[in-house]
Structure 1
């Protein structure tokens, strides 16, 4: 059976707790988890769920990546993805230098189509392809927008910054993803596009969701709604507003506020009934299916695993073939976690394997997937070959 080394998540929690001069009991008193669970996580007997890591990071006032170990540099180097990050960082840094005289950008229509294709690549979880093309397109769009400013070019540049955020989050470079969000706001203002501004607040809220600061996350969601309140009601604004409510539902679930969860899900469902599937709006995947997926995610976040699995059983046969691969993979990871937590270890392994087949790059670098695989290793008296291969795949 694969064994945890001294650098597992629980060991990192223990190290940071000691640096903060706290006993296990003192840290347990600061988070909504028991002393017994914290003890088991620190010694490696249980996996650290993403919500527990967020709670510990918030209590200790550290970045959650200190506990997750992100970015997973060894695996990124093996996949030849690490070398793609620095060009993205440099492209994000050159936003205010104006047009590059040495750059021939070609027709705007080509740039707009390329920005849209990058969004599609990320939804399809083709992270290497997107990361490879991203720096060059940022440079071209930046030059084109400075040379001949137009709403469409600034919007496309904002969209490309959003793609930079998505790619760097999935690869575990959260510091760089925050820079990309700043650039998104900068371009959205030049485009005079309040929906993009509101979308940025939604994505900022998810940053604080990961870091365990749910109060700030909900304030950002509220700010996004305020921005939309000043514009005409359109299909686009309804979709963005609905996505804000979905973001608020999982943040409220982490905060264990079931009333707020139901309120936000009801609002999102109402928006979805008004406009139907709106997955084409800013590539948000918003619509009735995404509402159902977020309802299940909320149950997972509130540790209502039996309820989550009951929902998953109804949702899975109805998932449309057009659903973004990134969203399908996230669903499977949620399902696997719920199956593991309820003792359905074989089903959990099957779900993780399915997520890997659907979206290998996203699954390999997803903290929740990695912790679920580690948990399955510990729960298995005899590690099947498929689980051993999965454990080796994530570097265990």
Structure 2
């Protein structure tokens, strides 16, 4: 049986609650979870789900990473990922410094292709590869945009900033991810591309999804829609609009607004039926299958676990689905199965996520808490679960 570390989300919830001068009953009155639920999380008898953690962070007015312990620096040192963060941070800080004559850049075509390749690496869950190449791409694109500002270059730079956001979110550097979104907005404005601006609002909405501020997140989704021309029929605009609706669906589900979540899913499905598989459009993974995956997530976020599992079983992922999305589905399914007491099936789903995208799974807070929950469900943890728990540092 894995040894239960005293450093987990529950103990951090207890510590921050006490620092705020609150009793367990007082905190329970401020979140949509019972006193019993809170006490079980604090003592480690129940895993702290992502939505629970967001609710507590909001109630205590602290950043959610204070409770999750992100970034997971011990594991990142082992995977040699921490050494890649500083170059990314430095490249993001070059945006307003103008030209640098000491920087030799690749050609426009080569840099545009490099920005696309970074997106492909992230979708394939090759985080280390993407993180290592990213700073040079951002640096060269920034310099080239100052030397010869062109729409094509600004779009490529916006894409590179988006990749910086994706990588830092997956590794738990949410402060840096917010900086990347600011830079994305800066480049999108210069590119004159409303789709990029709307995409930024979608990602900003997900920031508040993680932090538990769902009303602000939904406002950002509406703001994203407002940036797109009414009645726009171009495929990129329809794709971004559909993705905004998917973001709105999960935000509404967390806010316990079931009717609004269903409306967003219905609108997203309309757009997906029109564009088909648009997963390569701005690398948003938008498609009819992604709508089905979000519908399952909506049921999960509303704690309708039987319905979520029914939907999960009905989903057939085609080979074209990105590895990162495939792993995300497996992690969500694992949580649903764990919540329903189906420990063996949950562990199988986690191993599927790990095989598909080991780096992404290792740093996913939902995966880590599901593993912790499975340990508590097991009287004697089987060898595969012990291996999984050791792998995440439990």
TM-score normalized with structure 2 length: 0.99
Equivalent pair of 1:201/1:224 in contact (CA under 8 Å): yes
User: Is residue 314 from structure 1 mapped to residue 314 from structure 2 by the alignment?
Assistant: yes
Matches within 5 A, 1:117-132: 117-132=117-132
Partner of 1:259: 259
Shift of 1:297: 0.6
Partner of 1:291: 291
Matches within 5 A, 1:1-396: 1-229=1-229, 232-315=232-315, 318-396=316-394
Equivalent pair of 2:232/2:238 in contact (CA under 8 Å): no
- Give SS of 1:229's match: coil
Rounded to whole Å, the distance in 1 between the matches of 2:24 and 2:230 is 48
Q: Which range is displaced more, 181-190 or 230-239?
A: 230-239
Q: Deviations over 1:266-319 (max 9, x none)?
A: 00000111111111110001010000000001111011111111111110xx21
Equivalent pair of 1:11/1:43 in contact (CA under 8 Å): yes
Equivalent pair of 2:238/2:271 in contact (CA under 8 Å): yes
Rounded to whole Å, the distance in 2 between the matches of 1:229 and 1:369 is 39
Rounded to whole Å, the distance in 2 between the matches of 1:97 and 1:233 is 38
Rounded to whole Å, the distance in 1 between the matches of 2:271 and 2:381 is 46
Rounded to whole Å, the distance in 1 between the matches of 2:47 and 2:348 is 18
Q: Deviations over 1:11-56 (max 9, x none)?
A: 0000000111111011011100111000000011111000000000
Q: Deviations over 1:244-277 (max 9, x none)?
A: 0000000111111110011000000001111111
Rounded to whole Å, the distance in 2 between the matches of 1:63 and 1:7 is 17
Equivalent pair of 1:235/1:275 in contact (CA under 8 Å): yes
Rounded to whole Å, the distance in 1 between the matches of 2:38 and 2:3 is 19
Rounded to whole Å, the distance in 1 between the matches of 2:14 and 2:196 is 41
Rounded to whole Å, the distance in 1 between the matches of 2:230 and 2:297 is 30
Shift of 1:102: 1.2
What 5-or-longer segments of structure 1 have no aligned partner? none
Root-mean-square deviation (CA), in Å? 0.8
What 5-or-longer segments of structure 2 have no aligned partner? none
Shift of 1:119: 0.2
Rounded to whole Å, the distance in 2 between the matches of 1:6 and 1:323 is 38
Shift of 1:233: 3.0
Shift of 1:231: 8.2
Rounded to whole Å, the distance in 2 between the matches of 1:49 and 1:105 is 45
Equivalent pair of 1:194/1:231 in contact (CA under 8 Å): no
- Give SS of 1:238's match: helix
Rounded to whole Å, the distance in 2 between the matches of 1:3 and 1:34 is 28
Shift of 1:229: 3.0
